[in-house]
Structure 1
Amino acid sequence: MADRVLKDLGDVLRIARKNDRCSGAVLASRAGVTQPTVSRVENGQRVSGVEAVERLIAALPFSQEEAGRLTLMARGAYALAAEDKRVDAGVSLVPGAGRKLLTSASVVCGFQDAMVPALLRIPEYVSVDAGDLGSSADLGKALADEGKTFRLVVTESSLRTWPGSGEFMPAQLEHLLAVAQLPNVSLGVIPWGVGLPVMPPHGFTVCDEAGVLVETFTAEMTLTGLKHVTAYREAFDALEAVAVTGEDFRRVVERVASDIQQIIQ
């Protein structure tokens, strides 16, 4: 019920914005929210709180009566969502739960700042740590499914650190460049010198609205529930906004590859 209301509300806001000849970036500036927040609201997705939706309504040229109706509509939907308690909401350490969540998701958003993400690791990278084989060895095959969308962000630092000798890193970086060309993959890097808008203490992967995967040193946690998913999704949106893609991504990766070649020769 709440999801249907949010979808209808998002459609109304999108139409109003377009009729006002207003871009998402301009509306975000007017309302004092981020551009990814505008996109999520217009697509009927939940954000951290109803206040952001109220700001968007107030920033559009609705009549006072219509703005009031839409505001009540938004508050009602968020109240319903808060009451929609899931029996599995919380933290799970069940082995394999994260893999199942990832392989069933249609949209996967991942961030890593200390290593190459599991989805992007070549076998040589994986095999350096035998304990990693079960979690990463076959995940990369999921990228070939064009019915799924992958939005992945890494920091330049994650490309400049590696397990073992690093002899495989040139091949690993070539693999990243190849993956970035896939039609269903958006791969970005946050270069050195760019400040992070948020500072996650660990890498994470958001799977649709269903849950978040977090790898720790000893276990893989699966976080479910609106609070967790929304917080991590908004963190990802903010990090993706400062990442570079396309040719800029290629230039960063090639610069890293050149530096690594000098180290491992």
Structure 2
Amino acid sequence: MTDHTASAPEPAAAHASAAPQPDWPALLQSGTGPVQAAFRRLVESTTHYLGYSPNIVWGNLQTLPYAKEVLRLVVDLHGIPRDVEAGAAERVARAQYIGSGGRTYHVLLGEQTLLTGIGGPEVMRPQLERLHDTLSWPGLTLGIIPARARLAVYPGDGFGIHDETRVEVEGFRGGETITDHRVELFHRAFELLQQSAVYGDEARALITQALQHT
């Protein structure tokens, strides 16, 4: 999953422009391991990424316990094979690409991401500490949209833009791969969301505040 939301596994993956539309019923029934492995290959082949996650930590930055809890929720919702260990291992493996091979990532998280109760305090505290550390990672620009920030666009679903030409969107319905004229709409949405985000010390303060209340 993106990622971006907690509601469905991510789509399968050859690189953007040549990739076929995912067969969601088949992907869901294959379990989290194969789906997450396919998405990791997409991440590996992506050079420049823009992402927005309103209420759950972006998949590339998830700790292993957090990823397991998220995928358990997915499995329970969709009734798919319960291979959570395999899926979580593939998901956290994405972190290896941050700062490598000239890849760049610009990710926006909603402040709700810091507050959503995935797995309880014993899971959330290490996850928040991980986010705190990632603010200094090379190749990663991490912004947080404060809950009370004035928005220039409605929040919408989480999404990821891969190399400017492919968008992955997720929700309870499953996922959608977009490679047509609508890609530009998501670029515009990202630019508008970015206007409300804070970075650096301001983002760090929001994470610290969330840690103090977890």
* TM-score in terms of structure 2 length: 0.72
Cα distance in 2 between the residues matched to 1:101 and 1:209 = 14
Check the 8 A contact 2:99/2:138 in 1, yes or no. Answer: no
Cα distance in 2 between the residues matched to 1:165 and 1:103 = 31
Cα distance in 2 between the residues matched to 1:119 and 1:87 = 23
Rg larger for: 1
Cα distance in 1 between the residues matched to 2:152 and 2:134 = 26
Check the 8 A contact 2:40/2:91 in 1, yes or no. Answer: no
Structure 1's 93 and 103: CA in aligned 2 closer, same or farther, altered over 3 A?
A: farther
Work out which of the residue numbers 163, 166, 170 in structure 2 matches 1:211. 166
Cα distance in 2 between the residues matched to 1:189 and 1:207 = 20
> 1:146 Cα shift?
4.8
Check the 8 A contact 2:157/2:170 in 1, yes or no. Answer: yes
> 1:136 Cα shift?
2.4
Query: What residue number does 1:103 align with?
Result: 44
- 1:110-189 matches, within 5 Å, as 110-128=51-69, 129-130=71-72, 131=75, 134=87, 136-189=91-144
Is 1:240 aligned with 2:194?
A: yes
* TM-score in terms of structure 1 length: 0.59
Q: Which runs of 5+ in 1 are unaligned?
A: 1-85, 261-265
> 1:257 Cα shift?
0.8
Cα distance in 1 between the residues matched to 2:125 and 2:176 = 31
Opposite residue 176 of structure 2, the aligned amino acid is: M
For each residue in 1:88-130, what CA deviation from the matched residue of structure 2 results, as whole angstroms up to 9, or x when unmatched? Answer: 68x5446456544332111111101111111111001011234
Check the 8 A contact 2:50/2:160 in 1, yes or no. Answer: yes
Cα distance in 1 between the residues matched to 2:18 and 2:134 = 37
Check the 8 A contact 1:101/1:210 in 2, yes or no. Answer: no
Cα distance in 2 between the residues matched to 1:112 and 1:182 = 19
Report how many residues are paired: 173
Check the 8 A contact 2:110/2:145 in 1, yes or no. Answer: yes
Structure 1's 87 and 191: CA in aligned 2 closer, same or farther, altered over 3 A?
A: closer
Check the 8 A contact 1:146/1:184 in 2, yes or no. Answer: no
Structure 1's 249 and 237: CA in aligned 2 closer, same or farther, altered over 3 A?
A: same
Check the 8 A contact 2:168/2:175 in 1, yes or no. Answer: yes
Q: Which has the higher contact order (CA 8 A, sep 6+)?
A: 2
**Greater helix percent: which structure?**
1
Check the 8 A contact 1:146/1:183 in 2, yes or no. Answer: no
Cα distance in 2 between the residues matched to 1:144 and 1:88 = 25
Structure 1's 98 and 113: CA in aligned 2 closer, same or farther, altered over 3 A?
A: same
Q: Which runs of 5+ in 2 are unaligned?
A: 1-16, 28-34, 76-83
Opposite residue 212 of structure 1, the aligned amino acid is: V
Range moving further from structure 2, 160-169 or 110-119: 160-169
> SS in structure 2 opposite 1:167?
helix
